[in-house]
């Protein structure tokens, strides 16, 4: 995946949560059982679905970029949505993994239900489709990515491994805060500095589509 250099600061995004292998799933389960997961897992060359009943975020920045997937898809254009902090209810993430002999298998994760909330810091989502009811506060639209206010969304410092494709002059928008409801999105990567998943539930089911995936 690619990252964007903004004003000399490199935007960090390591994907988290959805990894299509049994070993990786077990590792995630152990980390999440400890209460918080630092972003360090990737879905390479595969999109997945994310649903949230509500997402209340502060320090919002969105810009266009290109993810290089090291698989059959190659370079993928994405919109990167970044939040300095976010509180989420009714979170669901699902990824479909083709399996030999038995066909599609869906790995599904839910959290933030029954009065509990998911907490995330330095949250990044590389998406190619989003449907939601959204309200933005103190929003600036059409700013250059290199000119976004650092008090809005501050990325966690890191050293990226890949060449950048975004560029400081690319189109961006920013807001002090945002409220999204009934969120359905298709993403290539979700990452966070810290992801606290209250009420975590994970399942692996045969099949795909409605009733198995998040939506």
| Residue from 177, 189, 38, 7 nearest 121 by CA | 38
Q: For residue 33, give the H/E element and its range.
A: helix 22-33
pTM of the shown model:
0.72
Name residues whose C-beta falls within 8 Å of residue 87's C-beta, 6 or more positions apart in sequence. Answer: 55, 56, 57, 117, 118, 119, 120
Residue 94 forms part of a structural domain? no
Residue 172 forms part of a structural domain? yes
Residue 110 forms part of a structural domain? no
Q: Domain range spanning residue 76?
A: 5-45+55-88+117-201
Residue 104 forms part of a structural domain? no
Summarised one tens digit per residue, pLDDT across range 79-135 is 889 999 999 999 999 999 888 888 999 999 999 999 999 999 988 888 899 999 999
| pLDDT bracket for residue 170 (50, 70, 90) | low
Q: What is the CA radius of gyration of the chain?
A: 17
Q: Quick one: residue 92, left, alpha or beta (phi over 0 = left, psi -120 to 50 = alpha)?
A: beta
The Cα–Cα gap between 167 and 119 comes to: 30
Backbone angles phi, psi at 15, to 5 degrees: -70, 155
The Cα–Cα gap between 163 and 154 comes to: 21
Residue 106 forms part of a structural domain? no
Residue 132 forms part of a structural domain? yes
The Cα–Cα gap between 105 and 205 comes to: 6
Residue 159 forms part of a structural domain? yes
Residue 215 forms part of a structural domain? no
Report pLDDT for 182.
97
């Amino acid at each position: 995946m690619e990252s964007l250099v903004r004003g000399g600061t490199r935007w960090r995004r390591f994907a988290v949560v959805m990894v299509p292998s049994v070993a990786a799933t077990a590792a995630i389960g152990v980390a999440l059982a400890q209460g918080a997961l630092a972003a360090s897992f990737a879905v390479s060359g595969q999109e997945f679905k994310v649903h949230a009943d509500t997402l209340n975020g502060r320090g919002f920045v969105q810009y266009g970029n290109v993810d290089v997937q090291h698989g059959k898809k190659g370079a993928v254009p994405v919109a990167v949505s970044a939040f300095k902090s976010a509180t989420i209810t009714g979170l669901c993430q699902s990824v479909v993994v083709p399996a030999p002999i038995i066909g599609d298998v869906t790995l599904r994760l839910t959290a933030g239900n029954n009065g509990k909330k998911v907490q995330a810091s330095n949250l990044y989502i590389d998406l190619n489709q989003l449907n939601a009811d959204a309200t933005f506060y103190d929003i600036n639209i059409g700013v250059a990515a290199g000119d976004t206010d650092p008090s809005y969304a501050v990325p966690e410092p890191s050293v990226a491994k890949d060449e950048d494709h975004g560029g400081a002059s690319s189109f961006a928008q920013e807001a002090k805060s945002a409220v999204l409801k009934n969120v359905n999105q298709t993403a290539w990567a979700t990452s966070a500095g810290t992801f606290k998943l209250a009420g975590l539930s994970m399942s692996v089911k045969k099949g795909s589509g409605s009733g198995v995936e998040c939506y």
